[in-house]
Structure 1
Amino acid sequence: MIDLNFTKKPLGSFLKKRRELTSTNMKQRLSIVMLFLSLAAFAQTGQTYQIGILIDQLNPEMSPLLEKLKSEVVAVVGEDANIQFPEENILVNGFDIAKARQNYNQLLNNSTDIILAFGIVNNQIISPLESHQKPTILFGAVNRDLHELDLTNASSGIENFTYLVESESYEEDFKKFIELTNFENVGILVDAPFVDILPLKETFDREITALGASYTLIPFTTVQDITSNLDGIDAVYMAGGFFLSREEKKQLVDAFLQAKLPSFTVNGTEDVKGGIMATYQSDDNLDQFFRRIALTIEAYVSGTPLSELPVYIDYTPRLTINYNTAEAIGVPIKYSLVGQTDFVGEFKNVISEKDYDLLTAINDALENNLSLGSNQKDVQLAQQDVKSANSNYLPSLTAAGTATYIDPDAAEASAGQNPEFSTGGNITLSQTLFSEAANANISIQKSLQKAQEANFNAAELDLIFDVSNAYFNALILKVNAQIQARNVDLTKRNLEIAELNFEAGQSGKSDMLRFRSEMAQNTQSMVEAVNQREQGFLVLNQLLNNPVNLEIDVEDVQFNEGIFEQYNYEEFFELLDNPTLREPFIDFLIDEAYKNAPELKSLDYNLLATERNIRLNGYGRLLPTLALQGQYSSTFSRSGAGSTAPLGVSLLDNTYNAGLNLSIPIVNQNLSNINRQTAIIQKEQLEINKSNVELGIAVNIRTSILNLVNQVSNIQLSKISEETAQEALELTQASYSSGAVNIVQLLDAQNNYLNAQLARANATYNYLINSLQVERFLGYYFLLNSEDKNNEFRQRFFEHLNTRN
């Protein structure tokens, strides 16, 4: 018999024996050495184990999980054994008990060394057995609320048999679900084959009744079985559906969203990422489950009996909510749960009634903004003032009627000219032919109207920038919410590392507590970021004159994509990035701003009005006013004393007259001189204001250009900063997991990465905001002008550049 312990003898002993050998036994020595090498090679290769797998169902979504399980087992077992998974030993029963029994017997009768079985149907076949012919591991059987195995045992105690029991519970799920939604009648979805196998009714009766609610059991084979039975329920709990395809799950999600039904699943976070509202399963449950299976196999091939291996897998439950789904169906997020909740989703407004791009937002604001509408009324009022001034040259026609009573004695003595009773009327026409005051008023009101139009143009430019600024701020807040959500996930991963380090004795409990505190703080930051995003939408709604509760969303933009690519903002970027062109470009922009600025135009028109007022109260006051006047009078009746004319005298009932009036003011209490002096002071004030506005434009252009230069460098540097911070974080995480760095260094790396992400995400938006601010000071928005006009603008710059040279 060969002593296998020979391979374990020290190398020094072997060399000592070598020196004692003589040349006559050299062949024997070589034979022993060859035997030693062959035994070592055998020990390194290990025994081969063929593993058979029993599954209730297999679909395209299950296949990658099966491959992952195989890889995990091979990786964990390593060189201890040669693990094989023959394809012919992967058997599916399709929820058929007879088929499941046949599959199990097939593995008993072939070369399979270890049997892995999971699923409810396989559980019904294997768990009742009192003895096991081959090593069998039963896993993924059923929820612990339904498990018939003795959960008080730390191990199976059965030769050649062990099982893995998960800590998941329907009861805990129901408690979380009702806390989220306060459902009254929940629809519980269960795979149809399980209804007759498991004590579902008894379990659900007990657990749902304890919550003061009711339920409707919905067995299903197809998606149609579910979607056709949603009436009368106010929530959906997926107690099954693990084997549904990705497309089938999407159909269910769409149906639940359309019916506004909150949904909860026992199947884990992948379904929540796919649109189910919530789960109480941890994100790493599946990985932990696969690792336990691999460790169980590794322990067995290393000599530990299955009957002695632990059976319980204790998951740490974690509520995961799909933010977009919860928002779409109107389930409010309870702040009492925020600290214990993971959020998934894009943090965009999935219930948006209108999605805005930048141009649509600008156009809607120009059409609907209330402040701009009020400014438009000011223009219309100025137009009315012009009409009123022009009306001074329109004819004035008045009609008057009289009824007169005169003292009878006086009437008698008037010889019929003033009878005691008389009625009459007249029509008077007056027409101004020339008036310097009227001419001046017309000119002044026209100038003031143009000044008001310039003010309106300035209000339009301000509104365009305000809307653009609100749009980009909403984008910044939207991206910030997404980054804060990812930071919460990162903190969660770091917490898991801290927990592993604590279990391995590499760090203390204080690290775990610190990360739990960070988790709470980061979750609060995420909640605040989401609320700030909603506040950003409120500001935009106000500018667009939308109802404040209108659900909106904004589309992302980049300066070298979409409309900003069309209007060649990258060329603007390049001009600023070139130090030799920057100063000529600034000078050109200032000159263009002076030409375009509606504020300067408004002041110019006010100056014209003031100068016209000065002329009016100067030599203009000596110009005469010429007017034409005519009147037609008629006596309708005469009666009483003096109503009859004396003999030989006729009374005229109808008369008319016409006249031309010419008037020249000589002295009018010195008001003309006072008005002239006042107008001169107003003119000087307007000139001072114009100089101040010009100076302000120049300062604003230069300041905003410097801000743009900062943003240009920020775009480049923030990209480098984010990439560097991410790499540093990954290295620090690896070092922390091995105990090489402390928690403070990891937190610093995480915070640096968070800040770098925020800076990177905001850099482009801040650049575009500053670009549009330059355009506001310039009085010209490239986005709102045609390509021909923009090309003319560029051509003027090149001409300006040639002039300087």
Structure 2
Amino acid sequence: MGLVGYTQDLNEKSYSLDDCISIALENNLDLKSTELRAGSAKVNHQQSKANLLPSINGNFNLGVNDGRSIDPFTNDFINQELTFSNMGLSLDMTVFNGFRLLNAEKQNRLNRKASELEKEAAQQDLVLNVTLAYLQVLNSKAVLDLTKVRYETTKQQLKIQEDFYENESGNPADYADILGQMANDETSILVSESNLNNARLSLLRLLNLPENIQIDAESIMIDFDKYNLSADEVYAEALQNLATFKANEMRIEAAKKGVSVAKSQFTPEISVFGGVNTNYSSAAELFSETGTSIVETGDFVTVGGQDLPVQTEQTSFSSDGISYTDQLDNNLNTVVGVSVRVPLFNGFRAKNNVTLEKIRVEESILELERTYLDIKNTIAQVHFDMEAVYNRYQSLQKQVKAYEESYRINEIRFNNGVSNFLNYVTSKNNLDNAKVNLVNAKYEYILRVKVLDYYRGNIF
């Protein structure tokens, strides 16, 4: 009779709990998402601080115009190809707007701190989840080892009964019953292997690793001293140490600043502005006097019956283009001013925004209260279960010792033909089940202690 069992590659690296926690903190996707949100909150805070600074902008234009247009240099109409250019520098700064920018900076600073605390809380949750998943793997592996030992014991008994059966001595039904027990033990091994595989997959998902891993059972120190702290004492420490409480408190403060930001929409906004501008035109020319000459005007005067042409003195000019840099210097102009914006009516937008922000404050307070209540109830339940499983573990230890003695006696009696198979297998199953229950109780106790330590802030 053969059995395909769980195998382990001896060359695989064995991971301790600390190794798994380090890998999870580096690879876990949910934690990465939380870190990205914290990064966004940091950028938002930096931008809100930058919003307090003046806004400075520059502009530059260069183009060609053909046809009738206005000369930007003389403001006269011209009908020719024109190359134009202008540039400027402007400044705008808010002087007062009901402290909206200041309160927005404070709000974003609080949101940034809250995001950092939420990141810390996510790390704490991840460490706890990895620890629990790691312990579940150890628990499943311990149960699998017990089922394998049970299988080997049944296999040895089968060999004894097989000899009796072949020699036509003993009860033939005992041999058939042993075969059935072997099949039952094989099924138990397969179920235990499946449970171990599922536990490993749960751990791998937290670590974000594609391959299977082996874990180091010796890295877990098991202490079965009775837990000394009460549920109220654990909760009191949780209030001081859990980042999730501090994060929710920061969210409340940030929401209150949001109300102040919304109220600033009722106040006037005062800002100052200034600018420097200049321009260039290819049609711009500089005229220089080159001399004078006498020219006829085309008019005539009659003197003594004789028409004489009218002449005048005309000044001659020569034109030269004005250089680009000279035009920029000559056309330079500046502007400064103050702008006041007074909100008179905006469709009750400001009033409704203030109301919405006040609702967000109430929502944040309710979320904190819900967190208080949920964690307090969770700690109470875990503490109660921890005490119950501790007492159960003590009872199971006594039960295992009793069943070990019962099994020892019944095995001797059965092998010597004094007892029947039913008594033997009942004693064997009682012992095997008691050992499995003891292992489960052991890890259930450790799991609950780890959860309580997490709430106390001692998970790292």
Q: TM-score range by the shorter chain?
A: 0.7 to 0.9
Query: 1:418 and 1:764 mapped to 2: Cα distance?
Result: 98
Query: 1:437 and 1:758 mapped to 2: Cα distance?
Result: 65
Query: 2:60 and 2:415 mapped to 1: Cα distance?
Result: 107
- Contact persistence 1:434–1:625 (CA under 8 A): yes
| Alignment match, 1:357 | 16
Query: 2:239 and 2:427 mapped to 1: Cα distance?
Result: 49
> Residue type of the partner of 1:611?
K
Task: Determine which of 358, 370, 378 is the counterpart of 2:37.
Answer: 378
* 1:362-385 CA distance string (max 9 Å, x none): 223223323212211111111111
Task: Determine which of 373, 395, 404 is the counterpart of 1:726.
Answer: 404
| Alignment match, 2:275 | 631
Aligned residues: 416
1:401–1:603 distance in 2 versus 1, CA, 3 Å: same
Aligned with 1:639: secondary structure? coil
* 1:604 is aligned to 2:240: no
Matches within 5 A, 1:16-31: none
* 1:428 is aligned to 2:87: no
Task: Determine which of 705, 711, 714 is the counterpart of 2:389.
Answer: 711
Cα distance, 1:529 vs structure 2:
2.4
- Contact persistence 2:390–2:445 (CA under 8 A): yes
Query: 1:574 and 1:597 mapped to 2: Cα distance?
Result: 20
Q: TM-score, normalised by structure 2?
A: 0.81
| Alignment match, 1:685 | 363
> Residue type of the partner of 2:437?
A
Aligned with 2:14: secondary structure? strand
* 1:665-713 CA distance string (max 9 Å, x none): 2322211110111112222222222222111111011111111102221
Query: 1:519 and 1:628 mapped to 2: Cα distance?
Result: 91
- Contact persistence 1:476–1:765 (CA under 8 A): yes
- Contact persistence 1:400–1:426 (CA under 8 A): yes
Matches within 5 A, 1:113-132: none
Matches within 5 A, 1:321-336: none
- Contact persistence 2:234–2:455 (CA under 8 A): no
Cα distance, 1:639 vs structure 2:
1.2
Task: Determine which of 412, 427, 430 is the counterpart of 1:752.
Answer: 430
* 1:338 is aligned to 2:3: yes
1:616–1:396 distance in 2 versus 1, CA, 3 Å: closer
Cα distance, 1:644 vs structure 2:
7.6
1:534–1:351 distance in 2 versus 1, CA, 3 Å: farther
Matches within 5 A, 1:506-517: 507-517=170-180
Query: 1:616 and 1:505 mapped to 2: Cα distance?
Result: 95
Matches within 5 A, 1:207-226: none
Aligned with 1:397: secondary structure? strand
- Contact persistence 1:351–1:551 (CA under 8 A): no
| Alignment match, 2:306 | none
Cα distance, 1:389 vs structure 2:
1.5
1:690–1:394 distance in 2 versus 1, CA, 3 Å: same
Query: 1:493 and 1:460 mapped to 2: Cα distance?
Result: 49
Cα distance, 1:503 vs structure 2:
7.1
- Contact persistence 1:634–1:655 (CA under 8 A): yes
| Alignment match, 1:656 | 334
Query: 2:245 and 2:77 mapped to 1: Cα distance?
Result: 68
Structure with more contact order per residue of length (Cα contacts < 8 Å, sep ≥ 6): 2
Matches within 5 A, 1:460-471: 460-471=123-134
Name whichever structure is richer in strand by fraction.
2
Cα distance, 1:500 vs structure 2:
5.9
> Residue type of the partner of 1:353?
E
- Contact persistence 2:114–2:251 (CA under 8 A): yes
Query: 2:213 and 2:11 mapped to 1: Cα distance?
Result: 5
- Contact persistence 1:445–1:609 (CA under 8 A): yes
- Contact persistence 1:474–1:536 (CA under 8 A): yes
Cα distance, 1:589 vs structure 2:
1.6
1:684–1:634 distance in 2 versus 1, CA, 3 Å: same
Cα distance, 1:595 vs structure 2:
2.6
Task: Determine which of 74, 79, 84 is the counterpart of 1:416.
Answer: 74
- Contact persistence 2:100–2:260 (CA under 8 A): no
Aligned with 2:218: secondary structure? coil
- Contact persistence 1:415–1:644 (CA under 8 A): no
> Residue type of the partner of 1:588?
E
Aligned with 2:140: secondary structure? helix
* 1:393 is aligned to 2:393: no
1:625–1:516 distance in 2 versus 1, CA, 3 Å: same
Structure 2: gaps spanning 5 or more residues = 290-326
Query: 2:348 and 2:16 mapped to 1: Cα distance?
Result: 62
Aligned with 1:351: secondary structure? coil
* 1:6-34 CA distance string (max 9 Å, x none): xxxxxxxxxxxxxxxxxxxxxxxxxxxxx
Q: TM-score, normalised by structure 1?
A: 0.48
Query: 1:411 and 1:680 mapped to 2: Cα distance?
Result: 56
| Alignment match, 1:8 | none
- Contact persistence 2:70–2:76 (CA under 8 A): yes
1:504–1:415 distance in 2 versus 1, CA, 3 Å: closer
| Alignment match, 1:485 | 148
1:699–1:439 distance in 2 versus 1, CA, 3 Å: same
> Residue type of the partner of 1:378?
R
Task: Determine which of 354, 375, 399 is the counterpart of 1:676.
Answer: 354
> Residue type of the partner of 2:52?
Y
Matches within 5 A, 1:193-272: none
Query: 2:102 and 2:397 mapped to 1: Cα distance?
Result: 65
Cα RMSD (Å): 3.1
Task: Determine which of 758, 761, 765 is the counterpart of 2:443.
Answer: 765
Matches within 5 A, 1:31-46: none
| Alignment match, 2:192 | 529
Task: Determine which of 523, 542, 554 is the counterpart of 2:205.
Answer: 542
| Alignment match, 2:216 | 554
